[in-house]
Amino acid sequence: MSFIIDKKKTGKALRIALKKCIKILPVFLTMLIFVSFVLYLIPDEVISRYLGNRNMFSAFVSASVLGSISIMPGFIVYPLCGILLKKHVAYMVLSAFSTTLMMVGVLTYPVEKAYFGMRVTVIRNCISLVIAVIVALVTGLFFGELL
Amino acid sequence: MKKGRININITAIFLYSAFIAFSFVIKFNPGKEIGYTFFTFVLFMIKILPCAFILIGLFEVWIKKEKVEKHLGKDASMLSFLWVILLAATTVGGIYVAFPVACSLYKKGANLSVIFAYIGAVGLCRIPMTVFEASFMGVKFSLIRLFVSLPLVIISSIWLGRYLEKRNYTMMECMK
């Protein structure tokens, strides 16, 4: 549609898109390399073993740590959470896991640093971690798992 | 300095692909599995990234700076947070798509607080993701998550934005 209205501008847009894409591509690839290694080192079974821990506290901590380290697309995370839920893993633990997965990214660090610089990246990730913990605690409260 | 780092990246990528290829040749299983995960992710990104970057390009060409400044800039009202959360909800992909978008928003004069709210919200309330989540975890779970996290994200972003402004922070990389 943009092409019909103004050919010149659209061409410029595409050039910008291409330039940006190429500039950040090596960083993205580095991230993907890390991701593929980590996902191999922490397969699903390990995740379910740690999250299914009887001790609520240690399950909670390991959920946050695992979630912070790795990133996964939603279509993998939620089916996994669904399975864990059926195995009677607490909502609170799953909430910690999925929220840290989405918001805190040790693995997206190279990409984020390229855009924001190191300090801001670290601050933002710490804040996100705190938020994720609060959210998880509230979830636990609502589902009556905390008390 | 800059050039050297890019070279290191390229070397790493090259070594990595050699490692994967070699694993396939000698049937080294861990290497093969790592390779498969890598390709799954690459395919996923190939579907999303070009579209994302084209949209970013179009955004940079078509949208006037004044408009972004008016709605998302320093003097914009609290409504600006509503706009970015809506924008975040319709963003596809993941948090890594949010960074280049944030970069463009910044270039067009959006407030830092607004930008951080956008990034946080992308992690939290993308529509397809939330629907998916609700279907697996129950609507109650998703609602609790959204209602608790969004206010926290907005508050922390406002704080972070102000803090960085005091320190005269600029997103250097984006200005090039």
Residues of chain A contacting B129 with CB distance shorter than 8 Å: 74, 78, 102
Residues of chain B contacting A94 with CB distance shorter than 8 Å: 137
Q: Which two tokens stand for residue B86?
A: 């809506």
Tell me the pLDDT tens digit for each residue of B49-86. Answer: 777 777 776 666 666 666 666 666 666 666 777 777 87
Among A10, A12, A19, A20, the residue to mutate for chain B (most B Cβ within 10 A): A20
Proportion of chain B above pLDDT 70, given as a percent: 65
Q: Look at residue A37 and tell me if it is in a domain.
A: yes
Name which of A11-25, A107-121, B101-115, B119-133 the model is least confident about: A11-25
The residue extents of the domains of chain B are 1-62, 63-176
Q: Look at residue A10 and tell me if it is in a domain.
A: no
- Quick count: other Cβ atoms within 10 Å of Cβ A19? 12
Residues of chain A contacting B94 with CB distance shorter than 8 Å: 71, 73, 102
The domain in which residue A129 lies consists of: 33-142
How far, rounded to the nearest angstrom, does the alpha carbon of residue A50 sit from its chain's CA centroid? 18
Taking the CA of residue B75 and the nearest CA in chain A, the distance in Å comes to: 23
Stretch A7-32: mean pLDDT:
70
Among A6, A14, A103, the residue to mutate for chain B (most B Cβ within 10 A): A103
Are the C-beta atoms of residues B60 and A18 closer than 8 Å to each other? Answer: no
Nearest Cα residue in chain A from B138 = A82
Instruction: Give the range with max mean pLDDT: A42-56, B41-55, B124-138.
Output: B124-138
Taking the CA of residue B129 and the nearest CA in chain A, the distance in Å comes to: 6
Q: How far is residue B105's CA from residue A116's CA, in Å, rounded to a whole number? A: 13
Whether B57 sits inside 8 A of A37 (CB atoms) is: no
**Who among A82, A124, A134 is closest to B136 (CB)?**
A82
CB burial of residue A3 (10 Å; 0-12, 13-18, 19+):
exposed
How far, rounded to the nearest angstrom, does the alpha carbon of residue B95 sit from its chain's CA centroid? 3
Q: How far is residue B174's CA from residue B9's CA, in Å, rounded to a whole number? A: 20
Proportion of chain B above pLDDT 90, given as a percent: 0
* Domains contained in chain A, number: 1
B11 touches chain A (CB under 8 A): no
* Model pTM above 0.90: no
Q: How far is residue B146's CA from residue B134's CA, in Å, rounded to a whole number? A: 11
- Quick count: other Cβ atoms within 10 Å of Cβ A117? 15
ipTM associated with this complex: 0.71
B18 touches chain A (CB under 8 A): no
B149 touches chain A (CB under 8 A): yes
Q: Which residue has the tokens 């290497």?
A: B31
Q: Look at residue A7 and tell me if it is in a domain.
A: no
Are the C-beta atoms of residues B161 and B112 closer than 8 Å to each other? Answer: yes
pLDDT at B126 over 50: yes
Q: Look at residue A4 and tell me if it is in a domain.
A: no
| Mean pLDDT computed over every residue of chain A | 75
Stretch A31-57: mean pLDDT:
69
